[in-house]
Amino acid sequence: MMRSLYSGVSGLKTHQTKMDVIGNNIANVNTTAFKSSSITFSDLMSQTTQKASGPNAATGTGGTNARQIGLGVKSGAINIAITTQGAAQSTGNPFDIMITGDNFFVVSDGISNYFTRDGSFYVDGAGNLAMTSTGYNVMGWGVDEETQNIKQDTVAALRIMHSANMTYPPEATSRAYVSGILDRNDTDVTSANGKSVNLNFYDALGYSYTARLVFKQSTATNEYSLEFDRLIDSVGNEIDISGVTFGSDGLLQERPTTVSFNNAGYTWDKATKKLLSQDGTTTYASFVTDPSMFNADGTLQDFDTEVTIQDGSGLTMTIGEMMDNIARAYSYEGSTEEFLNLYITDENTGDPVSIEQMMYNLATDAGDNEFPMFDNTDSAGGAATTFDIAGRYFDGTTVTYNPDNGKFSGIGGSTTQTTVTLGLSALGGNFSDIVIDLSESSMVDNKGTSTIGAEKGDLDGLGTGRRSGDMIGVSIQQNGMIYASYDNGMTKLLGQIATAEFANASGLEKQGDNLYSATLNSGEFDGIGVDVTANGGYMSTGQLEMSNVDLSSEFTEMITTQRGFQANSRIITVSDTMLEELTNLKR
């Protein structure tokens, strides 16, 4: 038989194989991250009819080349263009990820690890990041509980939506700062009530509160008191702040102030220790009451406490109502707390005595009952009572500003102290102390308007505290790190997508479903993987890698393959004709 006949057959077979490769490429032209293949041919073998001979110096004849007749063709190799990047296809799905570079995603079926460039992922019912097509888990690294950084260890399934990640825990506010302008011509600053500044903060359970701080001007125009006035919860209820410390400056000296008794509508009855209406028919306050209205240290109990006047009238009123009436009689309407904190100097001892302490002495018959509020006043009314105060008590601290440039210059008389601690932990429960920095405040002219305010957290945004937060989104960074965002403004690192790299990526073996497995010639996967950015690669979300099949090249290869197949078929038909002529020699 003619050798050309079998050469033609081998040509048909190899061109058929090439057509199979081309057909598979074209079939996968729209397969996500598909890598095209190409085939190379090599000659099959040759029959040597005469070996080569060298030159003969003795006879002077030259050498001859070997005489070899080729016996056909075979498939040499099928190569995958695995390192050729496919174009990007925008999907808008945040869990669709494309790798730019030579790395591969690592996925697992629970037994073995596989590798893919198909980044079409979703979150399954267990909260795992998984392949959309196969459900295989995407592998990566978890977060170290102590450092909250990625711990690059043996890859594991990325469970990003488990219960621990769905919420962000609350945290108590621990730091705050006061900034802005405190204008000394602001009528609020110079008033009896002072300039109020609200500080919103959180306790350890994430409940929100408002601490009202008050700036009041002292004797010196560059010195102010800063007091903790009240604490209000998120629904508007006021919380008792007894025991809360806020500075420890004691007394604040003010400009001499005369307190005047408004005799037009009120009268003191010294004999019965009552504040009456001008006509004596209405009782506004009385110290003929149960002394239990005061605490052991001489301070008033809660203003909502109701007391009964012990004079047989059966009249009852709250402590707050009594104190408000007295403050109103001395022209301190709406400023009861301010009035109670005024003090005079005891003429006998020279010690400061607050009006609140004076009232305690009246109610308990302790000390001298001849206090200024009764002087020159009798049951018939008498003259209006007036007395000079020496200053006032306050629970707070003093804030000083440089009189030359208006800049902050110290707290509590210290030029190096910039913070004061609001001791809320004294309230117990879930409250924490808050360190307040005042160094960013100033005292300059702002046309009589103060802009001073308080913000939770320090100037670097630390210690702000937070309420509990629910997860509202997940984002994936270019390095594969996965972050959750929460509705309390916080973010949390959930893990990082690991990638694999191989010395010879073309040596990977296809396993179907856009998956590859490692072989001896590709190099082994070490079980840990690498950061995709280590070699300049990166991940893009909302995009998928398209097939790298080039249709123009495939169609061209199809044409040459078809012609090659036709030519080889002609070898067979011509060889057959020659054999036919040979058999026709015998008639």
More confident residue, 293 or 291: 293
User: CA 447 from chain center: how many Å?
Assistant: 39
What pLDDT digit, counting tens, does each position of 399-429 carry?
999 999 999 999 987 889 999 999 999 998 8
What pLDDT digit, counting tens, does each position of 88-143 carry?
999 989 999 999 999 999 999 999 999 999 999 999 988 999 999 999 999 999 99
Rg over CA atoms, the chain: 46
Distance of alpha carbon 171 from alpha carbon 169, whole angstroms: 7
Among the listed residues 162, 234, 210, 172, the one whose alpha carbon sits nearest the alpha carbon of residue 468: 172
What pLDDT digit, counting tens, does each position of 62-98 carry?
888 888 787 888 888 899 999 899 999 999 899 999 9
| Range of 260-274, 295-309, 333-347, 510-524 with top mean pLDDT | 510-524
CATH for 175-250+394-456, options being 3.40.630, 2.60.98, 3.40.50, 3.40.1130: 2.60.98
| Residue keyed to tokens 């459900």 | 135
Model confidence at 197: pLDDT above 80: yes
Distance of alpha carbon 148 from alpha carbon 495, whole angstroms: 10
Q: Which helix (H) or strand (E) holds 188?
A: helix 187-190
Distances in Å between the alpha carbon of 458 and those of 92, 171, 179, 455, 461?
38, 15, 11, 8, 5
pLDDT bin (cut points 50, 70, 90) of residue 378 is very low
HSE value, Cβ hemisphere, 13 Å, CA-based, for 565: 14
For the chain, the first-to-last Cα distance in angstroms comes to 20
What pLDDT digit, counting tens, does each position of 135-193 carry?
999 999 999 888 889 999 899 999 998 888 899 999 999 999 999 999 988 988 887 77
Q: To the nearest 10°, the Cα dihedral for 252, 258, 259, 260? A: -170
Distance of alpha carbon 218 from alpha carbon 196, whole angstroms: 15
pLDDT value at residue 256: 59
The strand pairing partners of 456, in sequence order, are: 176
Contact between 99 and 498 under an 8 Å Cβ cutoff? The reply is no
468-495 mean pLDDT? 93
pLDDT value at residue 495: 92
Locate CATH 2.60.98 in the chain.
175-250+394-456
More confident residue, 483 or 283: 483
Residue 331: how many other CB atoms lie within 10 Å: 13
The strand pairing partners of 545, in sequence order, are: 88
Residue 51: how many other CB atoms lie within 10 Å: 10
